[in-house]
Structure 1
């Protein structure tokens, strides 16, 4: 698992899951990669769900360009509705998908895939938490009850507990296809 020279953008909401973020950050950086924290406003501080950790947004959603990153990860959030309500977030996800960027979602982060991609997910294999299954299937996606599911350049993880495997798989896909689908 190598990530040297690869940049992974992480779409991060306020009240993010610090354990999940830290696990992914450590995995990516440990493999030689770089992360970009993406959010509503550049330099805006974000607090985790326990209000103990604070991060600063590296780049605003609307300023992130396709050439800035090799993969986009959508994290679980205690406030997914706020992320879904943002047209900029949904536009970024849609643009990443259309340009065949490696796109990953963990736990309830899959809800943003549903909102951004809708029927484009038809016939794609995905996973997510049990409470997201109906929403995923309503797009025509094939729900697979596994920890991590890969369908070309779309990688989904069922829960936060699957984060380490998700990260390893995502980095392998990024490395093997160079950030673009084969």
Structure 2
């Protein structure tokens, strides 16, 4: 992979219960493309990944959410898992952090259950997205156009359904993050 993300900083917002492969593979791809990525979490220390129903590895938190400034980052990655986005969407600071990327027109990538947080941030109305199938009704009720596709790109917002979509998700995520700000991203904020 070329160094098309040199000088870019990417925030990865997670807490315990994220689907491990949905964080580790995109993070590795971002770093291979030259980006600097930081795991940001409402909790300090480490966060626990999951491999579907089984506990996975622990990962060090680079920065606690209370100390994170969205202005320091060029893009945002939101891995899924069931527990991770469910906890984040009830955290006012996490929701505000996510919404700030849309307000600034910065690209965002969310996979699997990750779009739950986008609903809470009120940024999906009028957007075409995909997700884990169980989020379909939630996303439609929030005003999104939900489609069942491997990867969807809508003006800087990249979404995918599940871990099997990761290769396509990574390709589009890197492409959109390289493009930088999208003026149309702001309209959803």
Per the normalisation by structure 1, the TM-score is: 0.90
The separation in 2 between residues aligned to 1:164 and 1:8, in whole angstroms, is 18
Per the normalisation by structure 2, the TM-score is: 0.87
Q: Which runs of 5+ in 1 are unaligned?
A: none
User: SS in structure 1 opposite 2:121?
Assistant: helix
What corresponds to 2:9 in structure 1? 7
Deviation for aligned residue 1:78: 3.2
What corresponds to 1:97 in structure 2? 102
Alignment of 1:22-33 (within 5 A): 22-33=24-35
Q: Is the 8 A contact 1:13 1:77 kept in 2?
A: no
Deviation for aligned residue 1:153: 1.3
The separation in 2 between residues aligned to 1:170 and 1:81, in whole angstroms, is 22
User: SS in structure 2 opposite 1:51?
Assistant: strand
User: How many residues end up aligned between the 2 structures?
Assistant: 177
- Classify 1:147/1:53 alpha carbon distance in 2 versus 1 (closer, same or farther; 3 Å): same
User: SS in structure 2 opposite 1:32?
Assistant: coil
Q: Which runs of 5+ in 2 are unaligned?
A: 184-189
Q: 2:140 aligns with which of 131, 137, 140?
A: 137
User: SS in structure 2 opposite 1:21?
Assistant: helix
Deviation for aligned residue 1:67: 2.9
Measured against aligned partners, the alpha-carbon deviations of 1:130-177 in whole angstroms (never above 9, x if no partner) come to 11111111111111211110110111111121122212211111212x
The separation in 2 between residues aligned to 1:96 and 1:63, in whole angstroms, is 16
